[in-house]
Amino acid sequence: MGWITWNHGARRWGGALLAGLSVGLVGCSGSDPQAQRPLNLQQGVPVGAVLALSGNANVYGQDQRVGLQLALAHLNQAGGIGGTPLRLAIEDSGSDDPGANAAMTLQINRGMLAVIGPTLSQQAFAADPIAQRRGVPVVAPSNTATGIPQIGHFISRVSAQSSVIAPLSIAKALQLQPSIRRAAVFYAQDDAYSTAETTIFQKALSAKGLKPVTVQRTQLADNDFQSQISATLALKPDLIVLSLQAVDGGNLVRQLRELGYRGTIVVGNGMNTPNIYPICQKYCDGLLIAQAYSPELNTPANRAFVSAFAANQAGNGRAPAIPPQLTAQAYTALQVVGEALQRLNAQRPLKGLTVAEARKGLMDAILAGSYQTPLGDIRFTPDGEVVQTNFFVAQVRMNPDGRSGRFALLP
């Protein structure tokens, strides 16, 4: 499978760290002595990841880690980078900005040629400028807020921005229920993803003649929404639109249903994970969500990914399951980095480059490539925005146990 390590704060959970690399804080790559050294490939081609494996966003990071492991195995089974295995080091960022900043800095100082992550858009706005200043490519697997690639030349993403995806679920809700007249909105005001996505949702609603009857602001750490829900239900909405993350969003959905709301609920990308099922349980049923990935996409790349995911589940003693979008996007992010490294190595052998030269060459290769991925065929704009053609709208269908279900693709 290749060499993979992951770390939680200062604790090392597995494998070994790259030896002999400075962890001192230094400036941009031009004045970074470590980056001017010849690239050392004795322990593999080093790529890092910064994932939320603890804190309230850990449900996302766990899905992403599986995707990275699957992509690492696929790339190394295919020969790695010119016969040299790809080495992946995963660092736990927690779910906050300081954790992301520390993890990003640590991965860069270890000599990683690229970093995948961080998990949250809020974290990316804090940590990605560090990579930009140091000249290190970042491929974001799950940052959908407006403006992420525009942080700088070295920042790209495989996660389509909310402005492309979010309006699709509003359109589908109105198609399924043309009688909708009164919409209410909830969003987490202390989260960059949520505040960006709710703006897009509200514009989409207004474009359909549905100015929200109320906009309720919440906090990521909230778990009791009774007062806000009561105020909202008094206005008799027949559509409620949520821009929240998995834990707070799942709790809000459950409380909405428990307090009597029976109308349509549209949720955003923050709830696009099967990890919401144990939270809102039977009340997850019927949620509408636009997606950038479908396990039903019938392409060679996606069939291979779905098969690898099923084998991984079986190998870990888990029941068969459908790959979550976050797993597919993380897989795609490492696939992009791996294939770009392969092209770069064929043009300019990595063993003859400095760390800084390899990083710059890799960024150029990432932007120049096109990729056949589980998400479909993708490429990048010159500023690092993903160009993707396959998008979907799904509806949650819960199983009779009330704790498991699936995102059922709608026509």
Q: Which residues contact 281 (CB under 8 A, 6 or more apart)?
A: 254, 398, 402, 403
Q: Are residues 142 and 207 both part of a single domain?
A: no
Amino acid at 139: V
Domain that holds residue 336: 3-159+301-380
Residue 94 φ/ψ, nearest 5 degrees: 65, -160
DSSP codes joined into one string, 121-142: HHHHHHHHHHHHHHT--EEESS
Q: Is residue 227 part of a domain?
A: yes
- Are the beta carbons of 159 and 143 closer than 8 angstroms? yes
Task: Return the sign of the alpha-carbon dihedral for residues 389, 137, 196, 57.
Answer: positive
What is the rounded CA–CA span in Å between residue 97 and residue 118? 10
Task: Return the sign of the alpha-carbon dihedral for residues 30, 33, 39, 45.
Answer: negative
Q: Are residues 152 and 10 both part of a single domain?
A: yes
Q: pLDDT tens, position by position, for the chain (411 residues)? A: 445 665 554 333 333 333 333 333 334 444 577 899 999 999 999 999 999 999 999 999 999 999 999 999 999 999 999 999 999 999 999 999 999 999 999 999 999 999 999 999 999 999 999 999 999 999 999 999 999 999 999 999 999 999 999 999 999 999 999 999 999 999 999 999 999 999 999 999 999 999 999 999 999 999 999 999 999 999 999 999 999 999 999 999 999 999 999 999 999 999 999 999 999 999 999 999 999 999 989 999 999 999 999 999 988 877 667 899 999 999 999 999 999 999 999 999 999 999 999 999 999 999 999 999 999 999 999 999 999 999 999 999 999 999 899 899 898
Q: Are residues 177 and 275 both part of a single domain?
A: yes
Q: Are residues 147 and 41 both part of a single domain?
A: yes
- E strands along 21-175, which residues? 45-51, 86-92, 115-116, 138-140, 155-157
Q: Which residues contact 227 (CB under 8 A, 6 or more apart)?
A: none
Q: Are residues 185 and 199 both part of a single domain?
A: yes
Q: Are residues 92 and 26 both part of a single domain?
A: yes
Q: Are residues 12 and 76 both part of a single domain?
A: yes
CATH of the domain at 43: 3.40.50.2300
Q: Is residue 27 part of a domain?
A: yes
The overall pTM is greater than 0.75: yes
Q: Is residue 385 part of a domain?
A: no
Q: Give the rounded distance of the alpha carbon of 73 from its chain centre.
A: 20
Q: Are residues 150 and 166 both part of a single domain?
A: no
Q: CA 61 → CA 95, 104, 194, 329, 357, distances in Å?
A: 9, 15, 18, 12, 30
Q: Is residue 134 part of a domain?
A: yes
Q: Are residues 138 and 71 both part of a single domain?
A: yes
Please give the pLDDT value at position 34: 81
- Are the beta carbons of 240 and 202 closer than 8 angstroms? no
Q: Is residue 387 part of a domain?
A: no
- Are the beta carbons of 228 and 169 closer than 8 angstroms? no
Q: Are residues 102 and 239 both part of a single domain?
A: no
Q: Is residue 26 part of a domain?
A: yes
Q: Are residues 324 and 256 both part of a single domain?
A: no
Number of domains in the chain: 2
Q: What is the DSSP letter of 83?
A: T
Q: Is residue 296 part of a domain?
A: no
Q: Is residue 386 part of a domain?
A: no
Q: Are residues 354 and 400 both part of a single domain?
A: no
